[in-house]
Amino acid sequence: METTINIPKYNLSEEEEKKEILRQYRGLLRVLKSKLKPGDKRLLRTAFEMAAEAHKTMRRKSGEPYILHPIAVAKICVEEIGLGIRSTICALLHDTVEDTDITLDDIQREFGAEVTKIVDGLTKISSVMDTNSTQQAENFKKILLTLTDDPRVILIKLADRLHNMRTLESMKREKQLKISSETIYVYAPLAHRMGLYNIKTEMEDLAMKYMEPDTYKYIAKKLSDTKRERTKYINDFIRPLKEKLEKAGFDFEIYGRPKSIHSIWNKMKKKGVSFEEVYDLFAIRILVNSALEKEKEDCWKVYSIITDSYNPSPERLRDWLSNPKSNGYEALHTTVMGPHGKWVEVQIRTKRMNEIAEKGLAAHWKYKEGKDDESRFDKWFHQIREALTSPNENSIDFLQDFKTSFLAEEIYVYTPKGEVKMLPIGASALDFAFGVHTAVGSKCIGAKVNHKLVPISQKLRSGDQVEIITSAKQKPNIEWLNFVVTSKAKSKIKDTLKEEKRKIAEEGKYILQRKLEGIGAAMNQANMEELSNFYKTGSSLDLLYEIAIKKIDLKELKDFTLYGDKLVAPKPVKQVVEEKIEKPPILKQYDKKDAELIIFGESSDKIQYSLAHCCKPIPGDDVFGFVTTGEGLKIHRTNCPNAARLMANYGHRVVKTKWAKNKEISFLTGLKIIGLDDVGVIHKITNLISGELKFNIAAMTIEAKQGIFEGNVKIFVHDKEELDELVNRLNALTGITRVDRYDTE
């Protein structure tokens, strides 16, 4: 299904354009008013004029003057992230070094070292994230090094990305998919980790709007249709609380806030429920104006007032007052039973906590002034620095490791002495051991969790008390990598295994040296690389290791040609290796120009393609093509579980695709049907599918248990339109409660 893009007509005269640019710039000055010190206005004017001059011939895809983008980014930095003058100057200049003739020396002359360093960081990030480099995930390290150097770099980059997402309408479809995937995969989790909840939520919603347009529109419409009754319910819920809080003498605000479309969709998927069954479509927020020393006490008093009015769910109490999240978030969350038997989430926090929740890192710095305690933010940065400076190779797994180690939610566990340690969700006893010290992790043989003996692979939960048991004889093995999620544990285990490998590889080096001397070849880097390519080992170290463990016996050495002391691999093998490494065969079949116009259906024989097994697309699904290295072009649905990762890491391999109508080809898909096990219900289903709608059923299984039946039907359909009609007709049958599509094996 091809989405058509309407590029907004931007046709202001030159004079009107100048006025618009000045109007936007004055708007920026207005939001900065409270932060301006003597001399700041002049510096801002210089930055604005420098950027306007540098970008004067450039336009955005929508046709508007490019300078409006840096002004908008600067405004987001001030209004939504709470940054100051220096950051505003950097935001105005953030694209100049990369896209125009302005150099870092020019910026240094005008604004000094601090601004130059931040602009340099932003330029490096752009060249990493926004190019078609296969090294995207590897280069992510550079971004993070800049982040720990000066976190303002990443905050300005997040503002830049947010504005790009807000103006994505004018981009081509495949560009929309690539940018949205990158946003959901890297930038939204990063915004969350920096404590910028509003930005994270908006990024997720905007990414979903382009990646899953139908679902997005469906939930947005449902939200808009139910707005009136929701507002009435919120008012009824709030009324008694308001009276009690006023009576208790609190200075407070109370209001209902709708949940984001993305989080509602996640709930629907996770719990397997329809929109109507998602109970927390909104949250009630109570903001208390409290003195710093009374904050905790006041929040608990408010909690007490709420639970006097409504019954709380004991499992749903979240206390981030006693244990704030590492991104600075503090609040008390509870879920209570409201009127008409509906569960309602209530969030209690103070004005200060709210500012930290919305402005994240910038607000955290503001409140930190004058305090000397190391915050959780600082600890988090310290952990990232530690992970980045480890000598491990720059692997493609780094981004995934970073996501599980640093972007996941965290749990709190305790040492035997009662000290609190923060770990990402999914961390094991072994992660905890490495968190205590590398030496403890390396010698870990087991653990006691809450005084019970458990294996090192035991997953930890918040509140666990963990004691590590060590043995001098223990050493890490490759299986350990399956038990750990933290970057520190992974890198230390890999280091130890590498060291072990090196020791064994020494023996391989000795064997290879003897063999090479025997045929008159030199033991040098060039010959080692030639052999590594021939035997398809990843590196010289792997080559020597495999020789040592007798996996490679070097009998093919006799087929090599010798030029002086240089080895050259036998011709045919060399060609195959080159083909595989440098030129994925599929790329020879078409060039990027043709790829823009691939049509499935009648013209599908123009190019070889296959449908991805992970999401089994059918005509009418929103899809993209992905060039694999060896299996040709694979077609995935844009809401495929692997879509975000593929498009974020390998955007240059994404190919625009659309379906052509073709009623000749059928596609196998599956439906899961759940309903009441009533007499004749199965007959009704089969009669509708094969009798009325004439679909060909490939397989059908029905299981009934205690009055509920679950049926799985595999059927052949021509396209999504047919499938949607079938789902709607099935849902209309009496006794059917759910019909879901699933991907057949």
Do residues 156 and 91 lie in contact, with contact meaning Cβ atoms separated by under 8 Å?
Answer: yes
Of the candidates 17, 20, 40, 99, the residue annotated as catalytic is: 99
Helices 40-54 + 85-93 axis angle, to 10: 10
User: Which residue, 595, 634, 597, is CA-closest to 616?
Assistant: 634
User: Which residue, 226, 240, 212, is CA-closest to 282?
Assistant: 226
Q: Per-residue DSSP letters for 628-645?
A: -SSS-EEEEETT-TTHHH
How many angstroms from the chain centroid is the CA of residue 218?
Answer: 23
Q: Is there a catalytic annotation at residue 253?
A: no
Distance CA 392, CA 541 (A): 14
Q: Is there a catalytic annotation at residue 98?
A: yes
Contact partners, residue 604, CB within 8 Å, separation at least 6: 660, 662
Pairing mode, if any, of strands 623-627 and 633-637? antiparallel
Strand ranges (DSSP E) for 462-570?
466-470, 561-563, 566-568
**52 CB-side CA count, 13 A:** 15
What's the DSSP call for residue 676?
Answer: E
Measured CA to CA in angstroms, residue 234 lies from 241, 282, 499, 597 at distances of: 11, 9, 62, 50
User: Which residue, 728, 724, 700, is CA-closest to 712?
Assistant: 700
User: Which residue, 605, 721, 607, is CA-closest to 656?
Assistant: 607
Strand ranges (DSSP E) for 49-148?
none
Helices 429-436 + 487-519 axis angle, to 10: 90
Of the candidates 40, 79, 98, 556, the residue annotated as catalytic is: 98
Distance CA 252, CA 230 (A): 22
User: Which residue, 91, 101, 83, 81, is CA-closest to 24?
Assistant: 91
Measured CA to CA in angstroms, residue 267 lies from 270, 272, 335 at distances of: 5, 8, 15
The helix/strand/coil state of 183 is helix
Sign of CA dihedral 357, 358, 359, 363: negative
Distance CA 216, CA 95 (A): 32
Distance CA 238, CA 233 (A): 9
Measured CA to CA in angstroms, residue 269 lies from 213, 262, 266 at distances of: 16, 11, 5
Distance CA 640, CA 34 (A): 47
Do residues 239 and 216 lie in contact, with contact meaning Cβ atoms separated by under 8 Å?
Answer: no
Distance CA 137, CA 155 (A): 19
User: Which residue, 510, 504, 533, 535, is CA-closest to 523?
Assistant: 510
The helix/strand/coil state of 221 is helix
Polymer length in residues for the chain: 745
Distance CA 530, CA 527 (A): 5
Distance CA 148, CA 193 (A): 13
**337 CB-side CA count, 13 A:** 7
Could you list the active site residues? 98-99
